[in-house]
Amino acid sequence: MKNKIIISLIITGAFALTNCSNKDFNLQDPSSISTVLFYKTPADAEKALIAVYKGFYSTNYNNQTENIFGEEVWNSKAGGIDMDIFSFTPSSSNISGEWQNNYTTIAQANTVLGKVPDITFIDPSQKAKILAQAHFFRAWSYFQLVKWYGGVPLLTKLPPEGITSADDVSYPRSSVAEVWAQIESDLKAAIPDLPNGWDADNIGRATKGAAIAYLGKAYIYQKKWAEAKKQFEDLFALTNVNKGSNNGYDLLSTFSDNFSQVANNKWSTEAIFMEDYIAMKFANIWGGGGNSEIEKFTIPWDGQTNPNLYGITNFEDADTIRLTASAMYFYKITATGDTIYNKNSNNRSDFKGMSEENFKVGKYVNQKEPWLTWNSWEGMGDYEGVNVNLFRLPNAFLYYAEALNELGDPATAITFINKVRTRAKVKFYPYAFSNSAVYAPVTGDGSQADVRNAIKHERMVEFYLENEHFPDVLRWGDASKAYSTANDYELKTPFNGKAFKTNKQDFKVGKNELLPIPLIELQMNKKITSADQNAGY
């Protein structure tokens, strides 16, 4: 993990270069428009910004991977899949996809930040907003990269004009601390000029609340508790957020409305940042056609990554509101078809005759006809075009509670845990919850350690299958214990004479905390060797 890594950037964007040499690199598209000629008007600046959004929406991989890695899910494909059982390598396509897609967004953001300052605007605030959005998305992409790969090269300027060699776009690998510092810098640059909310024609753009929330999250990941506390207090104080027609962020009264279009949940008061697949009038992200309003779910589209019993049994008996919105199972009771039951239990004997193949994801799918989710792009009706919540208000509540607790104020932290539990209609803390599938039992004793466990429990069940849990157990240092508990429950405890699944999620401490640097980068970069790879790969 040292020296340099080549980032495959060309002047018009960021694309992986495969099997090319320096003599192949001097390529100029004769139909392309010179960057010197193009970036002249505010309209050009807006077009450049749209490219940033398109780059961001190309990172759908992020919406899949964090769930696949989690110990609360399993993949039913025979033998498992590499991302589920941790058998992936530097040559796995998803590994290079995450790297490439985020650097594409960074390259587009750098274009905006490098070219737009020289453009004359009648309205200076328009320019400021464009630059602020570019800063936000550059920070967002670096957040993904540092979270997955550790220290990565920092690109904050446009590549030089007239590139003739791959060596011209080789950059040193920065430290983890340096990457976090860049993320903080970009978000701080974005916050002052982003609006609290956008009008109907621009809904879906990054907001001030989103930038504040991600800066708070960056501090949480670095254990900068006091700084995180301040950011979330700033977030809670915002007014006129999202569509600019309300007093501030607030919880929706119905938990499942966060994942359903039928409830008109588009940019509700709970939504701090979303992937917006229907309201973004300012940019046709998907390029038109039937897919332009479709985001069916946040797991792999093969429909084989599903909740497992370990995950389901982490819900308390009374936590039916969140469980029934998060996971479903099918049980055939007549000869005429399947009837869907939403089952909540911590007792394996209650799952009479069930196998894990019967369990399906409940969030972001048509719960009336969920089988359509795995077989059809269209025909989803009420659940077609559902936006994906990347940062909901409960995330801020629980991050804030975590910061307070680590700063020695568990009593106030408990009040924010209970804000989340109020909507779920489960018992307020202090409560006790433990079973054979819980790696962090809650006793309700009010101590800092127990409140910490309560936050861990709450984050798992509140954000079940929302791409949060795996990064959480990593930053808490709990992955080894969590996977040991899950595998023991899933593989060694028989039910009806057999275990529920056979694919072990083989998380390796000292290795799987990070993804490997993609093989294509190692092959292209003569300045690093396999010895510079992340540990274990």
* CA separation for the pair 163, 160 (Å, rounded): 6
Q: What is the pLDDT of residue 250?
A: 94
What does the alpha-carbon distance between residue 20 and residue 527 come to, in Å, rounded to a whole number?
Answer: 16
Distances (CA, A) of 221 to 362, 376, 391, 524: 28, 38, 15, 32
For residue range 376-385, list pLDDT tens digits in order: 333 344 445 5
Q: What is the pLDDT of residues 354-374, one digit of tens each?
A: 566 667 777 876 555 544 443
Q: What is the pLDDT of residues 281-307, one digit of tens each?
A: 666 554 333 333 333 433 344 456 778
Q: Distance of alpha carbon 26 from its chain centroid, rounded?
A: 37
Q: How far is CA 438 from CA 317, 460, 480, in A?
A: 13, 11, 13
Is residue 87 predicted with pLDDT exceeding 60?
yes
Top pLDDT among 252 and 494 is at: 252
Q: For 462-491, what is the mean pLDDT?
A: 93
Q: Is the pLDDT of residue 403 over 50?
A: yes
The span from the CA of 431 to the CA of 437, in Å, is: 17
Q: Are strands 337-341 and 327-334 parallel, antiparallel or unpaired?
A: antiparallel
| Res 527: pLDDT | 73
- Residue 342: what pLDDT? 43
Identify the H or E element spanning 338: strand 337-341
**CB-count exposure of residue 235 (10 Å: 0-12, 13-18, 19+):** buried
Each residue of 164-174: pLDDT tens digit?
666 666 777 89
- The secondary structure of 157-199, three-state, reads CCCCCCCCCHHHHEEEECCHHHHHHHHHHHHHHHHHHCCCECC
Residue 5 pLDDT greater than 70, yes or no = no
Q: Three-state DSSP class for 90?
A: coil
pLDDT at 18: 33
Task: Say what the pTM is.
Answer: 0.88
Q: What percent of the chain has pLDDT over 70?
A: 71
Query: Is the model's pLDDT at 149 over the cut of 70?
Result: yes
Report d(CA 158, CA 107) in Å as an integer.
7
349 pLDDT band, cuts 50/70/90, is very low
Taking residues 400-423, report their average pLDDT.
Answer: 98
Residues ≥6 apart with Cβ < 8 Å to 102? 59, 141, 142, 144, 145
> Which one has a higher pLDDT value, 10 or 272?
272
Distance CA 516, CA 535 (A): 8
Q: How far apart are CA 206 and CA 216, in angstroms?
A: 16
Mean pLDDT of 338-358: 50
Distance separating alpha carbons of residues 248 and 238, to the nearest angstrom: 6
217 or 76, higher pLDDT: 217
Looking at the DSSP bridge assignments, the partners of residue 173 are 153
Residue 104 is predicted with a pLDDT of: 92
* Least confidently predicted of 161-175, 483-497, 515-529: 161-175
Residue 62 scores a pLDDT above 60: no
Copy the structure tokens of residue 264: 């008109």
pLDDT score at 26 = 43
Q: Average pLDDT over the chain, rounded to whole?
A: 80
* pLDDT tens digits along 242-270: 765 578 999 999 998 898 766 655 688 89
Contact 418, 429 (CB under 8 A): yes
Beta strands in 159-304 (DSSP E): 170-172, 271-275
Q: What is the pLDDT of residue 294?
A: 37
